[in-house]
Structure 1
Amino acid sequence: MAISLIRRLIQALFVILAMTVIVFVGVSVIGNPVDILINPDANQAERLRLIAHYGLDQPLWKQYLLFLQGLMHGDFGDSFVYGRPALGLILERLPATFELAISALLIAIVVGLPLGLYAGLHPHRISSRIIMSGSILGFSLPTFWVGLMLVMVFSVELHWLPTNGRGATAEMLGVQWSFLTRDGLAHLLLPAFNLALFKTSLVLRLTRAGVQEVLPQDYIKFARAKGLADRRIIFVHVLKNLMIPLVTIIGLEFGSLIAFSVVTESIFAWPGMGKLIIDSINLLDRPVIVAYLMMMVVLFVALNFLIDVCYTLLDPRVRLDAKA
Structure 2
Amino acid sequence: MLAFAIRRLGQSFFVLVVMSFIVFLGVFAVGNPIELLVNPQADEAERLRATVALGLDKPILEQYAVFLKGAVTGDLGRSFVFNVPAIQLILQKLPATIELALAAMLIAVGLGIPLGLLAGLRPHSFVGRSIMALSIVGFSLPTFWVGLVLIMLFSVHLGWLPSNGRGETVMLLGVPVSFLTWDGLQHLAMPALNLALFKLSLLIRLTRAGAREAVLQDYVKFARAKGLGPRRVIGVHVLKNILVPIVTVIGLELGSVIAFAIVTESIFAWPGSGKLLIDSINLLDRPVIVAYLMVIVTLFIAINFFVDVLYSMLDPRVRLGSASTAH
Alignment of 1:68-147 (within 5 A): 68-147=68-147
Task: Return the offset for 1:322.
Answer: 3.7
Task: Return the offset for 1:9.
Answer: 1.0
Structure 1 runs of 4+ aligned residues shifted over 6 Å read: none
Alignment of 1:195-274 (within 5 A): 195-274=195-274
Q: Give 1:203's aligned amino acid.
A: L
CA–CA distance in structure 2, aligned partners of residues 198 and 5 of structure 1:
31
Task: Return the offset for 1:304.
Answer: 1.3
CA–CA distance in structure 2, aligned partners of residues 101 and 198 of structure 1:
13
Task: Return the offset for 1:323.
Answer: 4.3
CA–CA distance in structure 2, aligned partners of residues 119 and 322 of structure 1:
37
Give the equivalent residue in structure 2 for 1:194: 194
Q: How many pairs are equivalent?
A: 324
Counterpart of 1:318 in 2: which secondary structure? Answer: helix
Give unmatched runs, 5+ long, in structure 2: none
Deviations, residues 54-77 of structure 1 (Å, cap 9, x unaligned): 000011111010000110011111
Give the equivalent residue in structure 1 for 2:311: 311
CA–CA distance in structure 2, aligned partners of residues 171 and 298 of structure 1:
25
User: Taking structure 1 as the reference length, what is the TM-score of the superposition?
Assistant: 0.98
Counterpart of 1:164 in 2: which secondary structure? Answer: coil
CA–CA distance in structure 1, aligned partners of residues 207 and 130 of structure 2:
16
Task: Return the offset for 1:4.
Answer: 2.4
Deviations, residues 198-245 of structure 1 (Å, cap 9, x unaligned): 000000010000000111001111111111111101000100111110
Deviations, residues 237-266 of structure 1 (Å, cap 9, x unaligned): 100111110011000000000000000000
Task: Return the offset for 1:318.
Answer: 2.8
CA–CA distance in structure 2, aligned partners of residues 3 and 160 of structure 1:
53
CA–CA distance in structure 2, aligned partners of residues 317 and 11 of structure 1:
20
Q: Give 2:208's aligned amino acid.
A: R
Task: Return the offset for 1:43.
Answer: 1.0
CA–CA distance in structure 2, aligned partners of residues 221 and 4 of structure 1:
35
% identical aligned pairs? 63
Give the equivalent residue in structure 1 for 2:287: 287
Task: Return the offset for 1:315.
Answer: 2.1
Q: Give 1:220's aligned amino acid.
A: V
Give the equivalent residue in structure 1 for 2:169: 169
User: Taking structure 2 as the reference length, what is the TM-score of the superposition?
Assistant: 0.97
CA–CA distance in structure 2, aligned partners of residues 99 and 192 of structure 1:
9
Deviations, residues 271-292 of structure 1 (Å, cap 9, x unaligned): 0001000111111110000001
Give the equivalent residue in structure 2 for 1:157: 157
CA–CA distance in structure 2, aligned partners of residues 309 and 242 of structure 1:
17
Counterpart of 1:79 in 2: which secondary structure? Answer: coil
Task: Return the offset for 1:302.
Answer: 1.0
Q: Give 2:274's aligned amino acid.
A: G
CA–CA distance in structure 2, aligned partners of residues 200 and 235 of structure 1:
20
Q: Over aligned residue pairs, what C-alpha RMSD do you find?
A: 1.0
CA–CA distance in structure 1, aligned partners of residues 245 and 11 of structure 2:
23
Give the equivalent residue in structure 2 for 1:12: 12
